[in-house]
């Protein structure tokens, strides 16, 4: 956290609203309005499936001309830069004027622009009666290549969900040590490594654990995948993620799921648990403090949901 001000905007499909709001709350402790968020916290938008742009504010003024004046009077300099008008919300009255406005700004900056491979991305935008000029960081969407990972199975999570779990576990603090204790083919681990975390995985099935390793090496990512029962883990982590094995509805399997949760609380203070059913009452019975939770819809019809629970001991 610092004194700089950042503006972020988010984008999501209707059915992902809950998931997006949940992630933003975990990352920033804030709610967004009009899909726009103001905060002092710096997060790379590429760690999220929903954050689109981040502007680090340099100047904030009531009029566009005042922004131009400040750029000139304060002798703002940049090299190999590009200016982009970024509409932060759908009702932005300047949509369609972006090129003209960016050019006006660019002409006042001392230094050489570069349109092919800019080293410095600058942005101008307008929101709720104010103009903002600042450094722009955009989601690079490179993580979408993980969708083509060589191995997957029907109960694997989507990459978007994987990213949200990483952010819920770490709150955006890349120094946190994370573990995915039932990692399957490694969807969550891929997103963790991509975002720069020290993350490892455990998987009880040797075959599936091997697929997770192969998925990681496909992207030349490094993370340790241990084949074994997570109930034997003894090391302590900042947060544990558990995407519980489901498709099993017998009482016996429910017991096994709770054994996993009960062990997880011994290996981290913060637990991110993914379930197919609502386990709120049972979590309370087990005296696990629910910090936040989210019901994420799988499809637009909402016919298959997953719950994400953030619990602390």
Ligand X SMILES: C[S@@+](CC[C@H](N)C(=O)[O-])C[C@H]1O[C@@H](n2cnc3c(N)ncnc32)[C@H](O)[C@@H]1O
Of 63 and 205, CB closest to ligand X:
205
Interacting span for ligand X (CB under 6 A) from 80-88, 92-100, 169-177, 225-233:
225-233
| Angle of helix 159-170 versus helix 187-194 axis, rounded to 10 | 60
- Is 13 a binding residue for ligand X by CB under 6 A? The answer is no
- Is 208 a binding residue for ligand X by CB under 6 A? The answer is yes
Q: Which of 187, 268, 271, 288 binds ligand X (CB under 6 A)?
A: 187
Token pair, residue 52, equals 């689109």
Cα separation, 255 vs 161, in Å, equals 25
Q: Which of 134, 159, 184, 192 binds ligand X (CB under 6 A)?
A: 184
Interacting span for ligand X (CB under 6 A) from 8-16, 107-115, 118-126, 155-163:
155-163
Of 9 and 187, CB closest to ligand X:
187
Q: Which of 203, 213, 216, 270 binds ligand X (CB under 6 A)?
A: 203
For the chain, helix (H) and strand (E) counts, in that order, are: 8, 13
Cα separation, 307 vs 22, in Å, equals 11
- Is 68 a binding residue for ligand X by CB under 6 A? The answer is no
- Is 202 a binding residue for ligand X by CB under 6 A? The answer is yes
Interacting span for ligand X (CB under 6 A) from 5-13, 56-64, 180-188, 292-300:
180-188
Token pair, residue 255, equals 């017991």
- Is 231 a binding residue for ligand X by CB under 6 A? The answer is yes
Could you tell me if 239 and 291 are in contact, meaning their C-beta atoms sit under 8 angstroms apart? no
Q: Any alpha helices (H) in 141-205, and if so which ranges? A: 159-170, 187-194
Q: Which of 150, 100, 103, 141 is nearest to 122 (CA)?
A: 103
Q: How many CB atoms lie within 10 A of CB 153?
A: 9
Of 106 and 159, CB closest to ligand X:
159
Of 120 and 152, CB closest to ligand X:
152
- Is 182 a binding residue for ligand X by CB under 6 A? The answer is yes
| Angle of helix 98-108 versus helix 64-73 axis, rounded to 10 | 20
Could you tell me if 136 and 54 are in contact, meaning their C-beta atoms sit under 8 angstroms apart? yes
Of 182 and 193, CB closest to ligand X:
182
- Is 205 a binding residue for ligand X by CB under 6 A? The answer is yes
Helix (H, G, I), strand (E, B) or coil at 36: strand
Cα separation, 227 vs 232, in Å, equals 11
CB of 14 to ligand X, least distance (A): 24
Residue nearest to ligand X (CB): 184
Query: Across-strand partners of 123?
Result: 84, 134
- Is 229 a binding residue for ligand X by CB under 6 A? The answer is yes
Q: Which of 47, 67, 169, 204 binds ligand X (CB under 6 A)?
A: 204
Please report, as ranges, the residues that interact with ligand X according to CB under 6 A.
155-157, 182-185, 187-188, 202-205, 208, 229-231, 243, 245-246, 260
């Amino acid at each position: 956290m610092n004194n700089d001000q950042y503006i972020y905007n988010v984008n999501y499909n209707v059915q992902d609203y809950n998931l997006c709001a949940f992630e933003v709350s975990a990352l920033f402790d804030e709610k967004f309005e009009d899909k726009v968020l103001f905060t002092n916290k710096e997060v790379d938008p590429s760690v999220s499936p929903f954050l689109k742009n981040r502007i680090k504010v340099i100047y904030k003024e009531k009029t566009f001309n005042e922004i131009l004046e400040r750029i000139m009077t304060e002798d703002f300099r940049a090299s190999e830069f590009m200016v982009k008008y970024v509409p932060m919300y759908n009702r932005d009255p300047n949509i369609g004027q972006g090129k003209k406005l960016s050019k006006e700004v660019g002409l006042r900056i001392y230094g050489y622009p570069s349109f092919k491979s800019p080293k410095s991305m600058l942005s101008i935008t307008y929101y709720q009666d104010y103009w903002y000029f600042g450094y722009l960081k955009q989601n690079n969407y490179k993580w979408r290549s993980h969708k083509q990972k060589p191995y997957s199975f029907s109960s694997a999570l989507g990459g978007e969900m994987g990213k949200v779990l990483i952010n819920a576990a770490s709150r955006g603090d890349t120094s946190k040590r994370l573990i995915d204790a039932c990692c399957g083919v490694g969807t969550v681990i891929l997103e963790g490594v991509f975002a720069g975390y020290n993350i490892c995985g455990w998987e009880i099935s040797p075959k599936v654990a091997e697929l997770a390793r192969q998925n990681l090496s496909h992207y030349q990512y490094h993370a340790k995948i241990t084949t074994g029962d997570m109930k034997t883990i003894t090391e302590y982590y900042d947060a544990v993620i558990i995407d519980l094995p489901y498709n099993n509805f017998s009482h016996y399997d429910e017991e096994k799921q709770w054994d996993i949760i009960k062990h997880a609380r011994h290996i981290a203070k913060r637990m991110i648990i993914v379930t197919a059913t609502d386990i709120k009452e049972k979590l309370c019975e087990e005296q696990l403090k629910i910090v936040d939770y989210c019901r994420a819809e799988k499809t637009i019809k909402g016919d298959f949901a997953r719950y994400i629970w953030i619990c602390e001991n």
